[in-house]
Structure 1
Amino acid sequence: MSADKVEKKYLPEFVYGAIDGTVTTFAVVAGAMGASLSSAVVLILGFANLFADGFSMAVSNYLSTKSHRELHVAQKSKCEDEDKDPKKTALATFSAFVLVGFIPLISFVLAFLFSWIEENQFKISIGLTALTFFLIGAAKGEVVGKHKLHSALETFFIGSAAAIIAFLVGYLLRAVA
């Protein structure tokens, strides 16, 4: 099996992890900003989400792939995913989740280094996240053989909906913070 085919075999896990990492991390950022929490709290919650949720997704992907493989072995049938290594699917998911999911936090990290970013850190995060939604959506379209722009817009709108919900929940609960 060629290296190109091996890489492509795990591309769906990478795309899935990247989309979920970006959506959930930005949802945490948006919720915290809606609640008017400090940048330090945004970073704490953001990084806690990034690694805990990334690990959870990786472990879930590992168990799902392993169960899928075991089911097909028990049924003595061959499926396309049977030759996927559960550890590699977990690694692809976790790597994408953490690497791409970090993007919504970049402006908050940079604000600690450059004070002039602080007043626009949420706007920068929104812009970077929107761009990421579009790029990952286009990549998803490529992987599944769908129209890239349609897939990019779909991912953007779904991600935006999650962010708006999180922001509104944070805003409505800001008095508790």
Structure 2
Amino acid sequence: MAEATAVAEAAFRALMASHPGGVAVITTADERGTPYGFTCTALCSVSLDPPRLLVCASHSGRTLPVLAERGAFVVNLLHAGGRGAAEAFTSRTADRFAEVSWRPGPATGLPVLSEAAHAVAECRVAALHPCGDHTIVVGDVLRSEVRATAPAPLLYGRRRFAAWPSEPGPADA
């Protein structure tokens, strides 16, 4: 068997862009209460017992060191009206939180995007696993909330945002 080589970065980006995912903003705060956050599509459930999820955070961002030090974070799952928040948290803007409405979460006191999120999970860090240029952050879910009347979830794929389709598909019938 021939030795495999890694695919080029551009080819890998194209591959992953072809797989749409839900959009979240991961938030935390330092010991002084200064909020930090980043836009994320790399998240998934890990376990029901205990309730656990994971997110992937870039080593080059400002949020990961604060999140690791704080030991807690919030997953804000964005609805279609939250595109502005998604874009704000991918920008190099110094104060991303000036562009969104937020409040402290009841379980952690960390930022919850009160208008842009249709669902929220407040988490305690269970494990950190460095992997390439990211760290896999595993979180125990301390509290969750889902807004039943929120707009459709925000998706990202093929390098663009879209809303969850409003028409039921064949699998929903």
- TM-score normalised to structure 1 length: 0.24
- Bigger fraction of residues in helix: 1
Structure of larger gyration radius: 1
Relative contact order, CA 8 A, sep 6+: which one is greater?
A: 1
- TM-score normalised to structure 2 length: 0.24
